[in-house]
Structure 1
Amino acid sequence: MRPVVRTCTPRSVLAVLAVVLVAAVGASACTSANGDGGTGPHGAHTAVLDDLDPQPVASTAAPVLPTTVRSFDGVDVTIDDVSRIVTADRYGTLTETVFALGLGDNVVGRDIAAEFPAAADVPVVTPGGQSLSAEAILDLAPTVILTDTSIGPKGVQDQLRAAGVPVVYFDPTRTLAGVSPQIIAVANALGVPERGAELAARTDDEIAAARSRAPDGENPLKIAFLYLRGTAITMIGGRGSGADSLIEALGAVDAGTASGITQQFAPITSEALIAAAPDVILMMTGGLESIGGIGGLAKIPGVAQTPAGKNQRVVDMQDGVLLSFGPNTGRVLDALADAVYQPADR
């Protein structure tokens, strides 16, 4: 399915889910996704998937159990029942993967980041966002728990394993290179390796198709990923943020990394943002909303002095979608390519 790109006035950005290009206070209606400095085309965009649900693979082979896998924490874990699966990580990746493997009906508990409609009725086991409750999870009578170290506390995960429930950890790193290995690792743990290979191949093909849309040229766009949660948490992404690999796949330059930021995230200062000089600013929609939308974003130190700020270049995407790095990754890249490179007035 093709992604949908919506254009918007700064006021309407608050009502949509997407990745944001910065706008100045009092900015006018959206126009284009290209340009630099204060002279090129400008505008805010919303990159939207027309269907947030993971698309299950065609294979219907039953899980082959028991199976023993090496958990990411180095422990060998044997799984002999996948009828009641709990998935919990910060990004919703594991839930998305299980649904795409065709085992969504077996998921009895999931993290709050898994926001797609097919999982809406599954109980949330991370009501606070990143904290697990052993009692709430054990009440679901899980037969296997899929998790990673992006969520916790680890003492709760250890308690679940001590209660006799198989707990499998996966790599918490979220990059394009890790998408297929993660899919295969989850499939192996659930006894459906053939489905995993099929899903990984499909996802690789979709990612490659989206990457092929990156324009050729000697002057690629510079895109900065900003992570905001109100004015108390204002960070710019650097190497290893996850967003950097998406930006590179779009044929652009990660502005934070290029400006010398070596950690995943660094506090935003006017000097850092002006030095990064992004043509586009990428954000989660929830982060944009948390600072009052486009008007609030323009008040972040340094934003108005960047090419992105001058051109009001805004592209936003749903929080649970942008950095999930699961089976929807190719479609996410496709939607971002539309939002970044195609004109808004269409």
Structure 2
Amino acid sequence: MSRRAAASILVLTVVVATAIGACSTAPLDVGSSDTSPTSVPLPDGPRTARLPSADPIPVSPTPTPQLPVTVTTADNRRVTITDVSRIVALDRYGTYGTAVFALGLGRNLVGRDIATKFPAAASIPVVTTGGTDANAEAIIALRPTVVLTDASLPSANVLTGQLTAAGIPVVTGSAGRTVAGTDAQLRAVATALGIPAAGDALVARTDSQIAAARAMVPRDADRPRIAFVYARGTGLLILGGPGSGADSLIDTVGGQDAGTAAGLTDAFTSLTSEGLIKSRPDVLLMMTDGLASVGGVDGLEKIPGVSETPAGRDRRIIDMDDGELLSFGARTGDVAVALARTLFGRP
């Protein structure tokens, strides 16, 4: 399966209040020079990582946009935004729609992608037909004053051209999704919408949450191997590797990406029993709907190779809502805290 096909599948999915439980492993004997890592006891059995709020929590309930603003887009265009009263946000992961709500302008969102799926956005029209293809006519019919999008969508250049020809400002952001790129992404959205101060506040909150998640990781301990498995029934099973986005999140919560450690070079690779066994995951990380599509944990255990891994033997499976796990951006800190808590059994 190609990277494009695998990445396209991800849009069917999608990327806590700050709470910190700093901890450490048992202290070494006084005078000991042994600083080798110790194994971290991970909770056995399946667990679900949950955010404390189904909807993104705005950093400001009523930000006042300072317009007009002119920005340079990721595709090197200069775009001037004079009105943000009708925003359409589109990408594979729901990143922009989530950011609009978290910045406090959710009431201005008039069109969204299928991955922007939290309750507060449920009544907003979806304009990505089939999950990933954006319908230019449907977008234009919404009379947007600005469109936020990126190259993660198929035919993004064509869409931008059609909307620009219709006189609609289109702000194209970076299609990359990593924890490290979150701050720049949030600031870019806030700047384009004329609310840079809200962007700074959202970045500060997100960074604080990521720091809290990292503080939950036991010190001087082995990093558990975590395999991200994407599933849509037993006929579609994909193992994450370098550049999947999940690898960045796994690293943030103190794990090592099992696919990368096993030598994968592609972001997504069709799952085989041999590949899964070779990756030797201590934990399997999945999207909730994906886990359900294979029959839950019991069904997952029947997939060849799963029961032969440390994760399978101890039924150590963590799932998280499809619209949250890889959304990145405004909820990256929330997701990291929820995963760290669940991974290490923190209260």
TM-score w.r.t. length of structure 2: 0.85
Q: Is 2:120 the counterpart of 1:126? A: no
The residue aligned with 1:221 is: 224
| SS of the residue 1:236 aligns to | strand
The residue aligned with 1:237 is: 240
User: How far off its partner does 1:50 sit?
Assistant: 2.3
Q: Is 2:48 the counterpart of 1:46? A: yes
Q: CA 1:246–1:308 in structure 2 vs 1: closer, same or farther (change >3 Å)? A: same
Retained in 1: the 8 A contact 2:63–2:105?
no
Retained in 2: the 8 A contact 1:3–1:50?
no
Give the distance between the partners of 1:153 and 1:128, measured in 2 at CA: 14
- CA deviations 1:113-155 (Å, max 9, x no partner) are 1111111111111142111111111111001000111113322
| 1:35-184 equivalences in 2 (<5 Å) | 35=41, 42-58=44-60, 60-154=62-156, 155-184=158-187
| SS of the residue 1:248 aligns to | helix
Give the distance between the partners of 1:174 and 1:63, measured in 2 at CA: 26
- CA deviations 1:150-205 (Å, max 9, x no partner) are 11332233211211111111111111011110000001111111111121111111
- CA deviations 1:237-266 (Å, max 9, x no partner) are 111111111111111111111111121111
Give the distance between the partners of 1:152 and 1:166, measured in 2 at CA: 19
The residue aligned with 2:32 is: none
Letter in 1 for 2:81: I
Q: Identity of paired residues, percent?
A: 54
| SS of the residue 1:232 aligns to | coil
User: How far off its partner does 1:219 sit?
Assistant: 2.0
Retained in 2: the 8 A contact 1:42–1:311?
yes
User: How far off its partner does 1:59 sit?
Assistant: 7.2
User: How far off its partner does 1:338 sit?
Assistant: 1.8
| SS of the residue 2:159 aligns to | helix
The residue aligned with 1:23 is: none
- CA deviations 1:268-324 (Å, max 9, x no partner) are 111111110001000111211222222321232311110000001111000110011
Give the distance between the partners of 1:114 and 1:322, measured in 2 at CA: 12
Q: Which moved more, 1:200-209 or 1:296-305?
A: 296-305
TM-score w.r.t. length of structure 1: 0.86
1:291 to 278, 283, 294: 294
Q: Which moved more, 1:329-338 or 1:318-327?
A: 329-338
Letter in 2 for 1:238: G
| SS of the residue 2:228 aligns to | strand
Retained in 1: the 8 A contact 2:87–2:110?
yes
Letter in 2 for 1:302: G
| SS of the residue 1:294 aligns to | helix
Retained in 1: the 8 A contact 2:287–2:322?
yes
The residue aligned with 1:211 is: 214
Retained in 1: the 8 A contact 2:90–2:149?
yes
Aligned length: 311
Retained in 2: the 8 A contact 1:268–1:301?
no
User: How far off its partner does 1:75 sit?
Assistant: 1.0
Q: Which moved more, 1:123-132 or 1:305-314?
A: 123-132
User: How far off its partner does 1:61 sit?
Assistant: 4.3
Give the distance between the partners of 1:303 and 1:59, measured in 2 at CA: 46
Retained in 1: the 8 A contact 2:18–2:209?
no
Gaps of 5+ in 1: 5-33
The residue aligned with 1:13 is: none
CA RMSD after TM alignment: 1.8
Retained in 2: the 8 A contact 1:35–1:311?
no
Give the distance between the partners of 1:139 and 1:208, measured in 2 at CA: 43
User: How far off its partner does 1:217 sit?
Assistant: 3.0
Give the distance between the partners of 1:161 and 1:52, measured in 2 at CA: 34
The residue aligned with 1:19 is: none
More RCO (CA 8 Å, sep 6+):
1
